[in-house]
Structure 1
């Protein structure tokens, strides 16, 4: 029997003890790891071997290679992608050398970590196939006894990895251990209950299913207690050393080795056959496990009853349906709809802003849209003023949500707060870089792209949090996306727009347009888009503003005749002429678009009030003509 077959047999019959964290021990030993822990397989192999030896001495009989993030995608961050195969093969050689030098009976398993590794996916899963194949081939070629696919937050990614690796491992009979990481007890980030996830992993050919990282022993135990594991399926568990936190001014893990040993016995009672440690664990944790399970036999897994399982799920995830509210997507399908952008003030005097918003509503605006610190300049929160507009003044508000200012935690919290205040119509944008704003030393976050954020907002509408947790209520967001037509080649911009619609955008708002030619080009290029498009129009405030837009803003072109026309005026007269030019553009826009997006320049609300009133007049006249011609009113289409 070769070593892979022996390992497979032991996984099904015995209690095995895994090792603990690699980086934790290297840090404790005072070693300077540098950028990549995996690169140490080439630069400091003795350090890696000494860690393996420490875990073997502590009682581990399953040793993982130092190859968790040794894939081309992760190594490319450090310019090491060309060394992918070398690092993986060296990791096996070092682990095997440590086992031989220890004189102990132990198995060497090749560690393959998630490529996504907790990030938001920015590419298609299929692009990961070659990356997984390259790493797995290197580990298998060097003769590992098994493979451990670990720290996968998403079931879908783990299933793809199994689909690639399972055929490669089949010829040698190499067993595959598949371990998920949970952001909360019992559920994966992509919304799978653990029972469902384990069932799918079994169907995909995994030899062992389990959990590692993120959660400590208690929460992993709680997850297993509620999970139905496929009959006869071996279980592996590699908990973190509790939760990471600040202790005595240092970021560290709290749980001690004795606690780990106590929970090892409890996990054994759940049918776990392979126990090790993940982040924060050291040889003393592994020694505690080894001592606790010494001489013990495998305990048959006893699943919770289906009735009990269903009761728990229903108790934890009651469904509460929220009443529907009117939205601009419904409205624009029936008639011309006007959205006016009006940026919040830069200081605490909001009375003028509220008065301007009221004037816009009285002029006929269907909604006020509030930018999210536009141009990276600090303003009063659009959440706060949007709530005042809607709750106190009865004005529909659409809040912009920029990717720039909030990490994943803040972004979800912000969205939930908007929804709680009744602001469920949002425009998702990337956001200008922080360095162009009034606090150039601020950090741009960008945990998410606009595509990612659109998808995540729509995920909230399915009742699933960013973490994959099932929420008690489903959100009712209506999600807009931005479109910039001011590019040399419109085709790539349209392709980008199509991706936003595929991600879930319910409506589109364009950057301001200044000429009929561009307006008609947008209409022609977007006629296949199946969501409403609000065409942006912003009146020029004078010749200097027009010259700036024409000469300094990429892609914007203003006709020479228009530039000469506005040059003849100054001050209020120039603003009046800017409004007249915008009205002429509106005359054409209403013939091709049901959605009108008027943008207030420099807080000159009198300009957009006049434009809103004019737009309402000409669209009302157009509707009367339609009624007279057909004898009854016909609803308009998305782009009219």
Structure 2
């Protein structure tokens, strides 16, 4: 009997629990890699399989979760051994119980040489050699490579059963910043996928609440939560969720529409035994359509003047003004007032540029919006905030009427400070854009318009262009470019205009001295002033250099106009008056 035939009987399919955490809890095994136990401690792996089967599960996973890492590292022989032994041990354990054996694939690592699809398909080939036809891709933070995996599997083995499971937190977001609902929707739409669902990170109650509002159609739903949430005791990580509590939630999860259930981190044979007893006689039920929840938010949302102007086809002017390094805000505010009177559409505020601490860009953005009525565009870096802190900040910005953000990875902390101050990068700008885009659809009455940076001065600009296209796929609606101060940068801008769909604000930086030009070329990443421009500043005093900056910036503004939707002026050394002269000259 196959998996589909089993489920047609109307009873849920119960999986095993967590091989990894259960193996790590055995004496002397906490520091060992679980998958290597297939080769080094096969009797222990077999004993764990039997313990879950005797507890009452009717499907077990091969002990192969991290084999994708071996393949990414070029360890093909080791991967083949782990999979061959993992498949043998699982089959031998399952046969007396008539249980299903699922080939277990963990998330494909981000690898420069191999795409996720390639790593998944390499594993499929090795599992198919062992005669396995049931597959579980689990704990996934994205669906990268899943469509290719599904198509490849069904070409190789049309009768195979494929279950795809994503790992979401209590807020329904993966560690890559992707929305679980959207991942589920896209995966369920693939005809080659037989079931989809969620596992890991969340405890049973949070996954229960999550699936209660899930639109799933007739897709077979799988839910395999953790036993609860981890607590560190001494050097051990423990899950305190009890088997009795877990089993009660399993009954509710099946009642909410899950056809396939089981356990992830922290779930032991005791958890599965208790769940098996509680589910005895339980039937799979198709849930009613999720009720529309009342939403206490303004239906129309706020107006976004900057984006409305861009969308209408009118050119915009954004000016960057560095935030103060102390608590004296007067010069900054005076500069903003001057820019407002000059007709600037938005003031962009850097987020601790060059990794040096300055006044918070988001707090300043709220102040400008509230007190001066100026449209701000705060920079938001991936440095020093995890996804929780980022969401909290975005919600605060939205409440204050700030609905445009510039997302950048951010500069690392300068090396001289790293002994005392550590950089924290949990994600990159693409992942952050995907996360903000997900919030737009889930939590916000007025969506953020997401901008990103485009480095026109990169040596390998084709890579930058590809990354920019990926950013657009993640929800980026426009780009602010690095300054055009060379013929190469202009050519790269023309390329970008031909390829990218989003709005482009062309970067202009008024170089104010020969020393300034040399500094930019040698110490600021992403900046390049061509020799022709640098040489013009030799011997110029301040007044002469500013007049030259005015002429060069005005010329560049006119050259880039056909390829941009506006300009992005960077203010050197708070010389706001120079910026106003450039704006007046441009007209």
1:138 correspondence with 2:126: yes
Residues 269-280 of structure 1: pairs in structure 2 closer than 5 A: 275-280=261-266
Q: For residues 270-302 of structure 1, give each alpha carbon's deviation from its aligned partner in whole angstroms, at most 9, with x where no partner exists.
A: 676655322111122123234445xx4452x34
Q: For residues 286-340 of structure 1, give each alpha carbon's deviation from its aligned partner in whole angstroms, at most 9, with x where no partner exists.
A: 23234445xx4452x343444xx3xx13436988231322106726976664322
1:93 correspondence with 2:60: no
From 387, 394, 397, the equivalent of 1:415 is: 394
Question: After alignment, is 251-260 or 532-541 more displaced?
Answer: 532-541
1:587 correspondence with 2:554: yes
Q: For 2:182 and 2:315, how far apart are their aligned partners in 1?
A: 45
Q: For residues 537-596 of structure 1, give each alpha carbon's deviation from its aligned partner in whole angstroms, at most 9, with x where no partner exists.
A: 333444433333345557724436854x54435xxxx33233112111133124234533
Q: Which residue of 2 aligns with 1:556?
A: 528
Q: Which residue of 1 aligns with 2:571?
A: 600
Residues 95-244 of structure 1: pairs in structure 2 closer than 5 A: 95-99=90-94, 104-115=96-107, 127-144=115-132, 146-152=134-140, 160-170=148-158, 173-184=159-170, 190=179, 192=181, 200=189, 203-204=191-192, 206=194, 211-222=198-209, 237-244=223-230
- Higher Cα Rg: structure 1 or 2? 1
Q: 1:409 to 1:63 in 2, by over 3 A?
A: same
Q: Which residue of 2 aligns with 1:27?
A: 24
Q: TM-score scaled to structure 1, two decimals?
A: 0.77
From 398, 405, 409, the equivalent of 2:384 is: 405
Residues 5-404 of structure 1: pairs in structure 2 closer than 5 A: 5=1, 9-13=5-9, 17-32=14-29, 34=31, 36-71=33-68, 74-76=69-71, 80-99=75-94, 104-115=96-107, 127-144=115-132, 146-152=134-140, 160-170=148-158, 173-184=159-170, 190=179, 192=181, 200=189, 203-204=191-192, 206=194, 211-222=198-209, 237-245=223-231, 251-266=237-252, 275-293=261-279, 296-297=280-281, 299=283, 301-306=284-289, 309=290, 312-315=291-294, 320-327=299-306, 330=309, 337-404=316-383
Q: 1:130 to 1:472 in 2, by over 3 A?
A: same
Tell me by how many angstroms 1:24 deviates: 1.4
Tell me by how many angstroms 1:518 deviates: 5.2
Q: Which residue of 2 aligns with 1:431?
A: 410
Q: Which residue of 1 aligns with 2:517?
A: 546
Q: For 2:81 and 2:426, how far apart are their aligned partners in 1?
A: 32
CA contact (8 A) 2:13 2:260 kept: yes
Tell me by how many angstroms 1:598 deviates: 2.7
Give unmatched runs, 5+ long, in structure 1.
464-469, 621-640
Q: Which residue of 2 aligns with 1:482?
A: 453
Tell me by how many angstroms 1:39 deviates: 3.0
Q: 1:330 to 1:472 in 2, by over 3 A?
A: closer
Q: For 1:519 and 1:139, how far apart are their aligned partners in 2?
A: 49
Q: For 1:613 and 1:66, how far apart are their aligned partners in 2?
A: 66
Q: Which residue of 2 aligns with 1:618?
A: 585
Q: TM-score scaled to structure 2, two decimals?
A: 0.83
Q: For 1:373 and 1:86, how far apart are their aligned partners in 2?
A: 49
Q: For 1:530 and 1:15, how far apart are their aligned partners in 2?
A: 46
Tell me by how many angstroms 1:372 deviates: 0.7
Give unmatched runs, 5+ long, in structure 2.
none
Secondary structure at the counterpart of residue 508 of structure 1: strand
CA contact (8 A) 1:185 1:220 kept: no
Residues 437-586 of structure 1: pairs in structure 2 closer than 5 A: 438-439=417-418, 441-461=420-440, 463=441, 470-471=442-443, 473-475=445-447, 477-488=448-459, 490=461, 492-497=463-468, 499-501=470-472, 503-514=474-485, 517=487, 520-521=490-491, 524-528=494-498, 531-550=502-521, 556-559=528-531, 562-563=534-535, 566-569=537-540, 574-586=541-553
Secondary structure at the counterpart of residue 426 of structure 1: strand
Q: Please provide the CA RMSD for this pair.
A: 4.0
Q: 1:386 to 1:145 in 2, by over 3 A?
A: closer
Q: For 1:193 and 1:492, how far apart are their aligned partners in 2?
A: 28
Q: 1:578 to 1:129 in 2, by over 3 A?
A: same
Q: For 1:539 and 1:181, how far apart are their aligned partners in 2?
A: 48
- Report how many aligned residue pairs link the two structures: 577
Question: After alignment, is 139-148 or 384-393 more displaced?
Answer: 139-148
